[in-house]
C-alpha cells in the first residue's frame, strides 16, 4: 500500500470517528453542552497522556505557550458551539456546516498570515456560502442553532489558522495534550457546580464520544503524516455521508431537498479546490523537470 493510500485510509477513518462522535453526542440526550464537552476533552486528555508516555515525548519542552493558549481557547469555543449545533440540528446539517472551516481557514490565513488567495479559491468560498444558504434557508427568523453552527466553524477555522503557525513549532502530541488539558480545566469548575445526573448509558455514550473524537483527531494526524493535505483533504467529506446515514438509521432524520443541494454545492466547491491544488502541483513539478 502506498503512502497516499495509507493517508486516504486514515482520513476516511478520521471522518468515521468524528461522525461517530457527533452521533453519540446526540444520543447522550438532554445533558448540558459543557458537561458533554468535558467528557470528550477529558477522554482525549487521558488517551493522549498514555500515548505521550508510551512515545516518550517530553512535554516540558513546550515553548510557545501564547500560541497554544490562543489555539486552545478558540478550539474550546468551537467544540462548545459545535456540540450545541449537534444537539439542535439534523446531524448531517451540523456536520456540513462545520466543514465550512475548510474554506474559512483560507480567508483567515490571507488576513492574518498574508498567505496568497487566488480567484479560484474566492469562487469556491463564495460557492460554499451559497451552499450554506440552501441548508439554512434564511427567512425573517433563522433558527438560532444554524447561527451557532456557523460561529462554531468560524472559531474552528481561527483555531486551525493558529495551528498552521504553532504546528511547525511544537510536537503534535504536545499540541493535542495542551488543548485537551486546557479545555478540561476550563470546563471542570462549571460542571462540578452544575453537574446533571447521568444514567449509565449516558456515561457510556459520553466516554465513547471522546473515543470517537480521538479516532478522528489521530486519524487526521496520521493522514497528513502520509500525504499532503492537497491530495487527501477531500476524503474528510466522507464524514457527511456517515452522518447522513446515522441521521436516517438512528434518529430517523432526513435532509430536505434544498439541504441536499447545499451539501452538493459545498462538496463541489471543496472538490474544485482539491483538484485545482493537484493541477497546480503537477504543473509546478513539470516546470521543475523541464
Q: Determine the Cα–Cα distance for residues 215 and 231; give it in Å rounded to an integer.
A: 21
CA angle, 134 then 154 then 114, to 5°: 115
Buried b (16+ CB within 10 A) or exposed e, 253-275: bebeeebeebbebbbebbebbbe
Stronger pLDDT, 273 or 134, i.e. the higher one: 134
Checking if the pLDDT of 224 tops 90, the result is no
Checking if the pLDDT of 103 tops 80, the result is no
Answer yes or no: are the C-beta atoms of 214 and 17 closer than 8 Å: yes
Beta strands in 74-180 (DSSP E): none
Query: What tens digit of pLDDT does each residue of 225-239 get?
Result: 777 655 666 677 788
By C-alpha distance, which of 52, 83, 42 is closest to 182? Answer: 42
What mean pLDDT comes out for the span 135-145?
Answer: 74
Sign of CA dihedral 84, 154, 150, 153: negative
Distances (CA, A) of 287 to 117, 118, 282: 21, 20, 9
Answer yes or no: are the C-beta atoms of 184 and 172 closer than 8 Å: no
Checking if the pLDDT of 66 tops 50, the result is yes
Q: Could you give the 3-state DSSP secondary structure of residue 141? A: coil
Checking if the pLDDT of 17 tops 60, the result is yes
CA angle, 215 then 220 then 222, to 5°: 95
The pLDDT value recorded for residue 139 is 62
Q: Determine the Cα–Cα distance for residues 184 and 223; give it in Å rounded to an integer.
A: 26
What mean pLDDT comes out for the span 116-126?
Answer: 76
The pLDDT value recorded for residue 283 is 38
Query: pTM value?
Result: 0.82
Amino acid at each position: 500500500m502506498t503512502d497516499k493510500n495509507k493517508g486516504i485510509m486514515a482520513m476516511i477513518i478520521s471522518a468515521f470517528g468524528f461522525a461517530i462522535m457527533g452521533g453519540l453526542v446526540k444520543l447522550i440526550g438532554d445533558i448540558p453542552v459543557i458537561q458533554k464537552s468535558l467528557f470528550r476533552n477529558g477522554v482525549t486528555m487521558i488517551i493522549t497522556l498514555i500515548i505521550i508516555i508510551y512515545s516518550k515525548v517530553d512535554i516540558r519542552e513546550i515553548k510557545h505557550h501564547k500560541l497554544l493558549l490562543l489555539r486552545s481557547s478558540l478550539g474550546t469555543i468551537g467544540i462548545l458551539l459545535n456540540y450545541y449545533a449537534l444537539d439542535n440540528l439534523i446531524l448531517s446539517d451540523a456536520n456540513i456546516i462545520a466543514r465550512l472551516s475548510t474554506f474559512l481557514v483560507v480567508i483567515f490565513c490571507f488576513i492574518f498570515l498574508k498567505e496568497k488567495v487566488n480567484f479560484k479559491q474566492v469562487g469556491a468560498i463564495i460557492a460554499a456560502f451559497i451552499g450554506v444558504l440552501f441548508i439554512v434557508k434564511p427567512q425573517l427568523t433563522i433558527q438560532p442553532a444554524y447561527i451557532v453552527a456557523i460561529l462554531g466553524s468560524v472559531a474552528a477555522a481561527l483555531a486551525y489558522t493558529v495551528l498552521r503557525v504553532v504546528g511547525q513549532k511544537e510536537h503534535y502530541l504536545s499540541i493535542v495534550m495542551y488543548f485537551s488539558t486546557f479545555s478540561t480545566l476550563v470546563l471542570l469548575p462549571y460542571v462540578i457546580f452544575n453537574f446533571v445526573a447521568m444514567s449509565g448509558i449516558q456515561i457510556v455514550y459520553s466516554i465513547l464520544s471522546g473515543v470517537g473524537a480521538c479516532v478522528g483527531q489521530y486519524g487526521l494526524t496520521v493522514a497528513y503524516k502520509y500525504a499532503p493535505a492537497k491530495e487527501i483533504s477531500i476524503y474528510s467529506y466522507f464524514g457527511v455521508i456517515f452522518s447522513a446515514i446515522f441521521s436516517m438509521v438512528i434518529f430517523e432524520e432526513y435532509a430536505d431537498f434544498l439541504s441536499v443541494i447545499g451539501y452538493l454545492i459545498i462538496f463541489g466547491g471543496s472538490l474544485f479546490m482539491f483538484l485545482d491544488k493537484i493541477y497546480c502541483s503537477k504543473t509546478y513539478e513539470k516546470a521543475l523537470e523541464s
